[in-house]
Amino acid sequence: MKLIVGLGNPGAEYEFTPHNAGFLAIDRLALVAGATVSNRRGRALTGKGRLAGEDVLLAKPETFMNLSGLSIAALLKELELQVEDLIVLYDELAIPLGSIRVRERGSAGGHNGAKSVIGVLGTEEWKRIRIGVGKPPLETGREVKAGGKDYLLSPMTKRELATLDVVLDDAVRAVEAVMIKGITAAMSEFNKKVSSD
């Protein structure tokens, strides 16, 4: 079994914000995996399904972004899984909207959810798919101020959502590639691709 976690913030006010790209990716994965992400366990909403011929538990932590590691650690313990069985999806401001990056390990890079996961698990060695929410196009009139908090927590425009919709399909394919082909092949396949609206 694999534990696949999307990072985000619970609550309707955050649903379609850039910071909830991880939650939106889990919603898309649930469609493919035949899962309903509605059971509460390990401080998260979870749903069981099958992806790439393997059982998966999809999860959206209810701890808010900055405490995501607590939920992930609880789920790993409850399921008796190792960090190697974990794939985490989350937004990344440093990656342009319409792109994803697959990584085997790495620092948090300023992302508080990733920082929490690293801090609680005590390692940077976990597979991740970073979903670009990058700087918005100038014509949207939206700007990213220092740290990006205002942008990350405000609703996306229709154009941004349309671009994100395409990249969520890429995120699903990337998860499947990690599971079937391995992390190195998935990085080669997806780290160059840019989706367009």
Write out pLDDT tens, residues 141-160.
566 664 567 788 889 989 89
90 annotated as belonging to a binding site for a ligand: no
Q: What tokens does 196 get?
A: 């367009």
Partners of 149 in the beta sheet?
A: none
What is the torsional sign of CA 191, 182, 127, 133?
Answer: positive
191 annotated as belonging to a binding site for a ligand: no
148-194: pLDDT as tens digits: 677 888 899 898 999 999 999 999 999 999 999 999 999 999 997 55
Q: What's the alpha-carbon Rg for the chain, to the nearest Å?
A: 15
Has this prediction a pTM greater than 0.85?
yes
Is the pLDDT reported for residue 23 higher than 60?
Answer: yes
112 annotated as belonging to a binding site for a ligand: yes
Catalytic residue set: 19
Domains along the sequence of the chain with CATH: 2-190 (3.40.50.1470)
Q: What tokens does 117 get?
A: 């996961």
39-85: pLDDT as tens digits: 999 999 999 999 999 999 999 999 999 999 999 999 999 999 999 99
Phi, then psi, of 6 in degrees rounded to 5:
-105, 135
Is the pLDDT reported for residue 197 higher than 50?
Answer: no
